[in-house]
A and B are shown apart, each in its own frame.
Chain A
Amino acid sequence: MLLEVDHLTTAYGGLVAVADVSIGVAEGEIVVVAGANGAGKSTLLKSISGLERPRGGTITFAGERIDRLAGHLITSRGLAYVPENKRLFPRLTVRDNLRLGSWLHRREPDREAPLETVFRLFPRLAERLDQRAATLSGGEQQMLAIGRALMSRPRLLMLDEPSQGIMPKLVDEIFAAVKVIRDSGVTVLLVEQRLMESLEIADRAYVLQTGRVVLDGPARQIMDDPEVRRVYLGM
């Protein structure tokens, strides 16, 4: 496994958001973590990326314990994270946001090499290079956030609700991009509320409920699970 989360518990004060969660992501997979609002999906990603400190359990990435590493060091190990609120640098231009994405490779002559991939995935970013990030639409901001993450050349890309707050047409574009990203060799861990769309592109999935894993397995199997269909699709 490229990423192994083992018995992870994360709490805000007394409120336990993630309880004893174990998940794994193998190299080359798209893994979806699904669940309703407040199920602990975002907290799980925040804990992996170092934004929140877990209370218990371990996180191993490419054989190294990362649960006590500072956030910037976790990024430097090849783990890129696009949070739900994107956290772009709003007053900087699209160009500068992307350039900062390659900060870890700033001394390398081909630091901007991933730019080609980013523009191929999201051509509209290339048209808006000199615009400030704050002036982009929600969908474009999501593209920029993913683009910025790709500029760090990650082995694992973690996306938190990339479909949230954007036009339906762009949602398809972003899901298609996620597939292309995986096919280019980047492993993807995706947190989504849009269960069926994300399962379409996923290899495996975990379903969280109030901080615990209640179901996991191949995406196909989760999609056909009668309980999932009843709860999430009202069938």
Chain B
Amino acid sequence: MTAQGIFQVLASGLLMGLIYALIAVGLSLIFGLMDVVNFAHGEMLMLAMYAAFGLWAISGIDPVLLMPLVVAAMAIFGALVYLGIVRYAMRAKSNAGMVQIFATFGLAVLIQGLAQFLFSPDYRSINGSFLAGKTVNLLGVFLPAPQVFGGVVSLAAFAGLWLLMTRTDFGKALEATREDQGAVALVGIDRNKIFALGWALGAGLVGLAGAVMAIFYYVHPQVGSGFALVAYVTVALGGFGSVFGALAAGLIVGLVEAATTLVLPSAMKSMGVYVLYLGVVFFRPSGLFGRL
């Protein structure tokens, strides 16, 4: 393979890595905030993709313009999942960890079942975006425009998240709540409100990922499961709860996946990622930037 070809593969890997990071960051954020693993994270991604597809199919408006709507809808959904399910699961008197796992896992099964039932298992795709079919020439490397757009959106989202966490009162309250959720009442912060907003933020971010992916990826009821698996690897690699670990880990996962295709058949592209994951579990179980 030529040097040009290798660059091409690695650049696509980096772009996919940015998308992986955007998918994973909401999962990491919610875990860091309240020690709850959202097993319905992949299904939230799937819901967001269907939301983007559905809105496009009904309105005919370019999916790029529909993104804010999808994000807002998912943020509301996320807050409702906390207020309606997780909040009660956290109150379990015994075995709270298990109760939380089954609560979000049950939600995943429910959402996927409903999607099968309501939307059918058919693969659907949006073919109306102005980005579709275009390529971008970056220093001689040709990349599909929707993926480049996705990468830019992801970077912008991380920049926004950084500003939110470091510059706003809400960001400080998030950080304080993740450090000591029992102490925030001392300064008058309602931790339930912070948790609900944290879920809104996490779900809004995965909603953004879904809205972007719907432009270039098939939408079907199982689409979330595969990406969720990569998201768990990303979160474990970056360090559970570390928001910017998720960015670094997403990029690494994307690169490793792409690099694997250089040496193995592309059907086995995930292998490199899971070998990497095993390595992390063995040698650095707290992840690259973890605090465990």
Contact = CB atoms under 8 A, between A and B. Distances in A.
Q: Are A and B a genuine interacting pair, yes or no?
A: yes
B182 interface: yes
Contact of A103 (B175, B179, B189): B189
Nearest to A97: B176
A65 interface: no
Given A50-B185, A87-B182, A99 B190 contact: no
B176 A89 contact: yes
B186 A89 contact: no
Contacts of A106: 169
A90 interface: yes
A75 B185 contact: yes
B269 interface: no
Interface string B252-290: 000000000000000000000000000000000000000
B184 interface: yes
Interface string B153-195: 0000000000000000100110110011011111111110000
B80 to A, nearest CB: 21
A127 B40 CA distance: 46
B175 A148 contact: no
A152 interface: yes
Nearest to A149: B186
Contact of B169 (A49, A75, A91, A103): A103
Contact of B190 (A49, A72, A100): A72
Contacts of B172: 92, 96, 99-100
Contact of A92 (B169, B179, B186): B179
Interface residues on A, range: 20 to 34
Interface string A68-99: 00111111100011010001111110001001
Contacts of B189: 72, 100, 103
A148 B173 CA distance: 14
Contacts of B179: 89-92
Nearest to A81: B186
A75 B190 CA distance: 10
18 contacts: A51-B185, A71-B186, A72-B188, A75-B185, A75-B186, A75-B187, A75-B188, A81-B186, A91-B179, A92-B179, A96-B176, A100-B169, A100-B189, A103-B187, A104-B187, A104-B188, A148-B187, A149-B186
Contacts of A162: none
A100 B185 contact: no
Contact of B180 (A72, A73, A75, A87): A87
Interface string B226-244: 0000000000000000000
Nearest to A87: B183
B289 to A, nearest CB: 13
Given A99-B172, A100-B172, A72 B191 contact: yes
Interface in A111-128: none
Name the 3 nearest CB pairs between A and B, nearest first: A71-B185, A87-B183, A104-B188
B195 to A, nearest CB: 13
Contacts of A149: 186
A80 B185 CA distance: 10
A72 B185 contact: yes
Contacts of B188: 72, 75-76, 103-104, 152
Contacts of B190: 70, 72-73
Given A92-B172, A100-B184, 13 more contacts: A51-B182, A73-B190, A74-B185, A75-B185, A75-B187, A87-B183, A96-B175, A96-B176, A100-B169, A103-B169, A103-B188, A106-B169, A152-B187
